[in-house]
Amino acid sequence: MKKTNKNTKNKQKIKQNKTKRTKNTKRTRKNVKKGGEYVDAGTFGAVYSNPRLLCQGENSMTPNINNEVSKIFEYDDDAIYENNNIEKLKSFLNERGILEELEKYAIIPKKMCNVNRDVLTKPPYTYDSWMRNQKFEYNENIFNKKYARLPDTTKILNDNRTAMIDIPAYNKLIISDKGGDNLYKIIEKIATYDQFKDFLQKLSSIGQGIQLLQNNGLIHGDIKDKNCLEHNGRFKIIDLSDIREISTTKDPAAMPTAFGYQIWPITAFYTYLFDEGIVFDKIEDINDITHENSITYEKIVGNFIKGNDDNYNMHGISYSKVLFDSAFRTKNIGYTSDQSEMIENIKRDLMNQKTAFVDDNKILRDIIKNFNEMFISEFTDINEFKMDLFKRIDIYSFGILILQCISRYLNKNYRTVIDDPKFCEKMIELYGIVKKCCYQKERVANINEIIPVYKAVVSTM
């Protein structure tokens, strides 16, 4: 399944409106649903439920509208782009007979439609309680405090970037099944051992979803706590529109900006090569392009060293340090000295992968040199290299989700001495799995080896 390319004009429009969208996202994300009908907002639109927004031709008696959510897009092009990618994904999965299998592990959007604006002037959409959450906060980008209203237009820069022009806005919906809380909210509630164990056991389904994708040559690219939901008692992956086939992609979106805060920068470094539009014919090309004297090499290294690219650099390093410090803890736990040393070694190995990029220019260059040598010595063709590179992203994400759960549980119980040999043994096993997922100085870990081991560990907690 090859990812659809946006046209040049649409790319320019998105780039021109990046600042505007970022500001909108920061403002509206505070209004996360706590019981009202405004669910959440992101870069490209906002989600509503209970009941969802209606399509043209639908009314309040339309079946199942309380069990679905509607994502309304500011720009029609974004909705069309996302829907096209989802339809291509469905076709790809159908051809291989695995569409129903993926639905066990992911919520796949159902359809795109035009919003029914007429019903928004009638109950329940006119009720104050529908438009706000329990903090009495509104998503004022779409609905104001007096009446339900959708803007007819939004402003973008013209092609010459000399003036703002109006374009049609908030016309298209994408409809999906409604899930429960996302994993970020579920992790926040973890306080007891039973909740800790339940989360880790349910997390198996996210790992199995990654496994199914990778065994069919696909990468999600943005697995994180807010892109996974609880649905009918299972954890499922959402936000599937950027799933792509690894062997064919030359798309820099294979490293989504939303994921940059977690991924190890070496993966982002090599993904940058696709952003440069370089075509690789043989594995030796990688070494030629990233040789110390090449223009591409100096440009990418400069971004990392100077911290010019926030998507791939400093934010990810600082986030990881906070997470690793809180998740790899031995205080108030009855580890043996050998177990404590093992945990500290894993933490150090993982952190060294990131801190080298800001602590020492020479270390960064040495790491890249060593990676180039590994690629040339171990890979025979360029597709094998890309499979290794892109598979790292989702596998790394799975390890991060495990660490987020561990961090929350330990922080909630930091005053309690956990002196249980069985607990300590299980934690050592979990840390070992995290290292397999996140340690990237070797060939990518095999997801088919990780998931059975993970399921065996958590099933006996």
Average pLDDT rounded to a whole number, residues 157-169: 83
Instruction: Give yes or no for residue 342 having a pLDDT over 80.
Output: yes
Judged by phi (left if over 0) then psi (alpha if -120 to 50, else beta), residue 233 lies in left
Among 60-74, 107-121, 213-227, 380-394, which stretch is predicted with the lowest mean pLDDT? 380-394
Q: If pLDDT is split at 50, 70 and 90, which confidence band does 118 have?
A: confident
The domain limits of the chain are 8-177, 183-459
pLDDT of residue 143: 63
Q: How far is CA 442 from CA 32, 385, 389, 438, in A?
A: 40, 12, 11, 10
Contact between residue 429 and residue 436 where contact means Cβ atoms under 8 Å apart: no
Contact between residue 155 and residue 75 where contact means Cβ atoms under 8 Å apart: no
Average pLDDT rounded to a whole number, residues 201-216: 97
Contact between residue 38 and residue 72 where contact means Cβ atoms under 8 Å apart: no
3-state class (DSSP) for residue 174: strand
Beta-carbon count within 10 A of 61 CB: 6
Residues 261-312 pLDDT 10s: 455 556 666 666 665 566 667 777 776 766 666 666 666 666 555 544 444 4
pLDDT of residue 137: 59
DSSP-derived letter for residue 3 is P
Query: DSSP states of 157-191 as a string?
Result: E-TTSSSEEEEE-S-EEEEEE----BHHHHHHT--
Average pLDDT rounded to a whole number, residues 34-45: 64
CA distance 32 to 242: 23
**pTM of the model as a whole:** 0.84
Mean pLDDT over each residue of the chain, to the nearest integer: 79
**Residue labelled with tokens 């006996």:** 460
CA distance 436 to 444: 9
Instruction: Give yes or no for residue 7 having a pLDDT over 80.
Output: no
Q: If pLDDT is split at 50, 70 and 90, which confidence band does 14 have?
A: very low
Beta-carbon count within 10 A of 458 CB: 22
DSSP-derived letter for residue 66 is G
Q: If pLDDT is split at 50, 70 and 90, which confidence band does 122 have?
A: confident
φ/ψ (deg, to 5) at 369: -60, -45
